Amino acid sequence: MTEDFSSLIFITFFFLILLFKITIHFIKSKEKKGLNLPPGSYGWPFLGETLEFFRRSLEGRPEKFIKDRMEKYKSHVLKTSLLGENVAILCGPAGNKFLFSNSNKLVTTWWPKSVKKLLGPCITTIGSNEGMQMRKMVLYFFSPDAFIKLYSKSMNLITHQHIKTHWQGKEVVNVHQTIRIFTFEVVCRVLTSIEDEKRIEKLGTLFNIFVRGVISVPINLPGTRFYKAKRAIIALKKDLSSLVRERR
């Protein structure tokens, strides 16, 4: 009897919160009707059009989510709601030019709640003046000249070893998966000088868990992608901190 009563209280409390949030959602929607917003739809309360976006992503065609709406609304500027956030989508060369030429002027860097919760305060420096200075400092190390002078020999050896391990003698090769492994291995060996294969494999596994959960609904409950991603980022930080201490 007590358990049934507790369950009833929990369910009632849950639906009251849900009703409250839906009411707030519709109030905010009415307030925004007077704004000069681009065409589009915010979809369902809270969910928005997230499920449709994920469905297209799982099909391997995330671009169709945008193309369908461009055709429907006959516009290169659209509005939608993803992961609980109202967003604008700017399509085509003109949209890209507008965004990249007005960074920190007319537009500022924005991150979904899941990204901010996983990466913490450090994410705010990326779009700041400090972040811009850091990018200028490391810009040369990602230039074509640096790749030729500093990385070409190492990358050549890594490529040959990767093909020997993951391609040769295989009847079937999962190209998408092997390219991901190769890319991560290059980053570890060339940019961070990690040579231990077991360590690279461990970091790669943790990184893939993080990537799968980084764009997700930020619900920190066991079993959710966000929960797994949070545990993965903690393990990654611990491992990389250990690596830094070893090299001091």
pLDDT of residue 14 exceeding 80: no
Least confident of 31-40, 114-123, 143-152, 163-172: 31-40
pLDDT of residue 7 exceeding 60: no
Count the Cβ atoms, other than its own, within 10 Å of residue 20: 10
Give the strand pairing for 85-90 and 77-82: antiparallel
pLDDT of residue 128 exceeding 70: no
Confidence class of residue 90 from pLDDT cuts 50, 70 and 90? confident
Averaged pLDDT for residues 47-59: 84
Averaged pLDDT for residues 115-129: 71
pLDDT of residue 75 exceeding 50: yes
Confidence class of residue 58 from pLDDT cuts 50, 70 and 90? confident
- Looking at residue 5, what is its pLDDT? 47
- Looking at residue 194, what is its pLDDT? 84
- Looking at residue 231, what is its pLDDT? 94
Contact 190, 155 (CB under 8 A): yes
3 burial level (CB within 10 Å; 0-12, 13-18, 19+):
exposed
For the stretch 16-49, pLDDT in tens is 455 555 555 555 555 555 678 888 888 887 778 8
146 burial level (CB within 10 Å; 0-12, 13-18, 19+):
middle
Contact 131, 108 (CB under 8 A): no
> pLDDT above 70 covers what percent of the chain?
79
Confidence class of residue 187 from pLDDT cuts 50, 70 and 90? confident
> Which residue pairs from 201-206 have beta carbons closer than 8 angstroms and sit at least 24 positions apart in sequence?
202/239, 203/236, 203/239, 206/232, 206/233, 206/235, 206/236, 206/239
- Looking at residue 232, what is its pLDDT? 93
> Residue 202: which of 223, 185, 190 has the closest Cα?
185
For the stretch 160-176, pLDDT in tens is 888 888 888 888 888 87
- Looking at residue 230, what is its pLDDT? 92
For the stretch 218-240, pLDDT in tens is 888 898 989 999 999 999 888 88
More confident residue, 195 or 9: 195
How far is it, in rounded angstroms, from Cα 76 to Cα 67? 9
> pLDDT above 90 covers what percent of the chain?
6
Averaged pLDDT for residues 79-84: 84
Find the helix or strand (DSSP H, E) in which 100 lies: helix 92-101
Q: Please report the DSSP string for 130-192 in residue order.
A: HHHHHHHHHGGGGSHHHIIIIIHHHHHHHHHHHHHHHTTT-SS--HHHHHHHHHHHHIIIIIS
